[in-house]
Amino acid sequence: MPQAESSTAGHPSSGDGARGLLRFLTCGSVDDGKSTLIGRLLYETSAVYDDQLTALADDSRRVGTTGGDIDFALLVDGLEAEREQGITIDVAYRYFSTARRSFIVADTPGHEQYTRNMATGASNADLAILLIDARKGLLTQTRRHSVIVSLLGIRHVVLAINKIDLVGFDEKRFNDIVADYRVFAEKLGFLGIEAIPLSARFGDNISTPSISTPWYKGPTLLGHLETIDVREAGDDGPFRFPVQWVNRPNLDFRGFSGTVAGGRVRVGDAVVAAGSGKTSQVARIVTFDGDRPEARSGDAITLVLEDEIDAPRGEVFAATKHRPIVATRLAARLVWMADEMLVPGRSYNLKIGTRVVPATVRAIRHYLDVETLAEVPVVSLGLNAIGLVEIETLVPVAFDPYAENHQTGAFILIDRFNNATVAAGMVAQPLGATNVYRHGFDVDRAARAAIKHQRPLVLWFTGLPGSGKSTIANLVEAKLNALGRHTMTLDGDSLRQGLNADLGFDPPSRTENIRRVGEVARLMTEAGLVVLCAFVSPFRADRDRLRERFAPDEFVEIFVDAPPDLCAERDPKGLYAQAKEGKIAAFTGIGQEYEPPLKPDLHLDASLPDPEALANQVVEKVETLLLGAELSAETSAGL
């Protein structure tokens, strides 16, 4: 029987104080003692074996920083580069437990250039230990980490005032730092801030109260970690299930595998595929240990539905009456992680849940000053900057605000050229229309195309004004019509007299013009048509975005290539002459650059005097694609 792995990773803490798993991280500035603190916790909870202690003693004498005493930082500074420099570079995870609770701790870097690693460690934590060197007080990096911790939804903080021994266990120094931090953190939304004076090196207030701080009446660090309740409402929220894999091992089984990202689901529950709007009921919940009657947040399962519906990887199943937002525009907080500045207009890949889609940062609303928490208007974001941005995705994606669901509200931005992660993001809110949900109609594009005996296609003719795009498109449509193909032609001039009458010819208007035309063409492919589009479409990025809106081999870019002088000579409307006289501003070819395709699907030499021959080239290309689709469909039917 097909099965999925079971998991309890979604229940990080039971909140009952007994054997619940608590995930936490340590963060702060450089040399605040994060690694030493974790090493001390491991030592005092008997998580270090005798042979490890022996090796630790040797390493401490060789590369330690404690004058020959045991350097507990070496237990977690596992990389040779870390030991040589005495710093943490990567995120180190360690597991330990007491009689009351189990723990997974992330030791994160303090250096500013490794802030991205700190954000990674914080992404799955329930609590943060923010270390502050008692000698230095609050530093910029401590404030930055506090802001990131808050943005990532961590609501419980331990303010660990470390190296208290180096200020003579001074109560006033401790109180001053705590007061300063509480003023700073007032707007960060923490539910609790537990301040503890400690010495990670010597063990003061780690697991036993220190005799050197008789003025401190609070819990020890370990005692606080053992008893704190960090329960979240993940099980009580609406059901969310991103599809990671369509599980079909044989003809008798079809399920959707993934991890429940929120709420609960039971056999018999009605669910909806958020993207398509198709609904069904849960027939089975399959796990590694067999079928179960229900699953909850964090469980790895395979859902089997009563109906055959299309739900590819990246689709999100949800409760029918509590659906996620499905939109293309959103506002989000970003932690920028790349050396190259973020400027509006560049395209990235956005990965949210199990789905990856092209996206563009359209605007930067403001930068968050981590010193003052002021929101400062800016036009770019630099390395480690935190800002509020507006993002537009190429296709609609399902999401929730991060404050409501960390799993479906978090995303990363990926550089499309080198595949590097450049930002971590948290959805703040959708932009534009909300509460708009697609209805799952029974007749889909495949059914509409089937009765026409053709596959949907978009033939996108691009080239300079006067190159012959509309002339060739007209001839192609006539030839396809004679062959019994169902077609529709969209022309720039006709749409600018109707749908796009409100747009000008400046670059943003041209981009919006092509975006709207692309949406109309996409809707026509839903009807199963072959759509011929004749548009100058001067910008390569606009055409590339269009291609990504369609399935592979469904968008055919046809470059109608003719030199500008010949286009001006042929020009039937006299536009070139008017542009040269200054009567037309921003005319492509005169005053505005045209970006030719780098790798068009079909390159037509429009300097040739025979448009009929050029049209035949297009028809031959189209018929090859349509015939291939028909043969593929027949072969599949035969199987």
Among 34-43, 115-124, 601-610, the minimum mean pLDDT is found in 115-124
The chain-wide mean pLDDT, for the chain, equals 81
Map residue 157 onto helix, strand or coil. strand
Q: Is the pLDDT of residue 113 over 70?
A: no
pLDDT at 271: 93
Residue 340 main-chain phi, psi, to 5 deg: -75, 135
Q: Is the pLDDT of residue 110 over 50?
A: no
Specify the pairing of strand 457-462 against strand 530-534.
parallel
The candidate with the shortest Cα–Cα distance to 426, out of 110, 10, 146, 119, is 119
pLDDT at 270: 94
Greater model confidence, 233 or 241: 241
With 0.85 as the threshold, say if the pTM is over it.
Answer: no
4-39 pLDDT, tens digit each: 333 333 333 333 333 478 989 888 777 777 778 888
Specify the pairing of strand 253-259 against strand 245-250.
antiparallel
E strand segments, 3-98: 20-28, 92-97
pLDDT at 75: 56
Among 102-116, 197-211, 490-504, 555-569, the minimum mean pLDDT is found in 102-116
The residue-averaged pLDDT of 334-363 equals 90
The residue-averaged pLDDT of 556-576 equals 82
Among 16-25, 480-489, 558-567, 627-636, the minimum mean pLDDT is found in 627-636
Among 179-183, 200-204, 252-256, 445-449, the minimum mean pLDDT is found in 445-449
pLDDT at 437: 57
For residues 632 and 104, give the distance between their C-alpha atoms in angstroms, rounded to a whole number.
52
Q: Is the pLDDT of residue 82 over 70?
A: no
Q: Is the pLDDT of residue 233 over 70?
A: no
pLDDT at 11: 37
Greater model confidence, 387 or 582: 387
Token pair 């060789």: residue: 62
For residues 289 and 431, give the distance between their C-alpha atoms in angstroms, rounded to a whole number.
42
For residues 267 and 338, give the distance between their C-alpha atoms in angstroms, rounded to a whole number.
45
DSSP string of 390-416?
EEEEEEEEEE--TTT-HHHHEEEEE-T
Percent of the chain with pLDDT strictly greater than 90: 35
pLDDT at 118: 64
pLDDT at 629: 53
When pLDDT is cut at 50, 70 and 90, the band that residue 78 belongs to is very low
462-521 pLDDT, tens digit each: 988 888 888 999 999 999 999 989 999 998 777 887 788 888 878 888 888 888 898 899
pLDDT at 87: 37
Q: Is the pLDDT of residue 593 over 50?
A: yes
User: For the chain, what's the residue count?
Assistant: 639
Greater model confidence, 304 or 545: 304
pLDDT at 91: 59
Residue 600 main-chain phi, psi, to 5 deg: -65, 155
Q: Is the pLDDT of residue 395 over 80?
A: yes
Residue 12 main-chain phi, psi, to 5 deg: -65, -25
List, as own/partner pairs, every contact residues 4-8 make where C-beta atoms lie below 8 angstroms and the sequence separation is at least 24, other chains included. 4/247, 4/255, 4/257, 4/286, 4/287, 4/288, 4/300, 4/301, 4/302, 5/287, 5/288, 5/300, 6/287, 6/288, 6/289, 6/299, 6/300, 6/301, 7/259, 7/298, 7/299, 7/300, 8/298, 8/299
Q: Is the pLDDT of residue 600 over 90?
A: yes
Q: Of 144-148, 247-251, 459-463, which one has max mean pLDDT?
A: 459-463
The residue-averaged pLDDT of 179-207 equals 91
Q: Is the pLDDT of residue 121 over 70?
A: no
When pLDDT is cut at 50, 70 and 90, the band that residue 120 belongs to is low
Q: Is the pLDDT of residue 225 over 90?
A: yes
Burial class of 145 by CB neighbour count within 10 A (0 to 12, 13 to 18, 19+) = buried
In order of 98, 225, 230, 299, 613, the CA distances from 19 in angstroms are: 8, 12, 13, 19, 78
Greater model confidence, 444 or 283: 283
Among 99-108, 186-195, 217-226, 326-335, the minimum mean pLDDT is found in 99-108
When pLDDT is cut at 50, 70 and 90, the band that residue 435 belongs to is low
The residue-averaged pLDDT of 262-276 equals 92
Q: Quickly count: other Cβ atoms within 10 Å of residue 470's Cβ.
A: 20
The residue-averaged pLDDT of 177-186 equals 93
Among 228-237, 363-372, 408-417, the minimum mean pLDDT is found in 228-237
Q: Are 304 and 284 in contact (CB under 8 A)?
A: yes
E strand or H helix at 569: helix 564-570
